Amino acid sequence: MKKILVQFLSLLFIMPVVSLALAGPVAADEATNSNSNDTSASDYWGGTDVEQNIQSNIKLGERDPREIAAQVVNILLGFLGIVAVVIILAGGFKWMTAGGNQDKVDEAKKLMSAGIIGIVIVLAAFGIARFVINALVSATTTL
């Protein structure tokens, strides 16, 4: 059971890395300029014209970086919450298959308590992250 759990968790960590490695590279279009000797700052950053806007050239999108950071934090904490629930379920499975062996029951109780502590930590981190991100957004947004 331990080998299967380790393989499952390692697969969960390896799959995103492999999927990112297999993704094709994003090529930004270079802004062409009629005067190649002109090296003003606007040329380096995509120009000042609407057609040469750096945002449209590198296809980044229009989302606020604070929103992206908040979404990344939510995804990571959600993943950690799922891991904690899996630990609790593994402890429950171990308890059910203990067959009356008190050592295995105690080990299962420890595993379940570790999972519960993990959920409490994840929920506390979620609350703290939500508070910090909301405070940053309110502090940096002009009304």
Q: Which amino acid is at 19?
A: S
How far apart (Å, rounded) are the C-alpha atoms in residues 89 and 4? 14
pLDDT band (50, 70, 90) for residue 115: very high
Q: What is the mean pLDDT of residues 113-138?
A: 90
Token duo for residue 23 = 């993704």
DSSP state of 1: -
Which pLDDT belongs to residue 54? 61
Q: What is the mean pLDDT of residues 17-25?
A: 62
Return the closest-CA partner of residue 52 out of 82, 25, 27, 28. Answer: 28
Q: Which amino acid is at 75?
A: I
9: Cβ contacts below 8 Å, ≥ 6 apart: 83
> Which pTM was predicted?
0.55
Which pLDDT belongs to residue 129? 87
Which pLDDT belongs to residue 13? 77
Residue at token pair 């005067």: 35
pLDDT band (50, 70, 90) for residue 84: very high
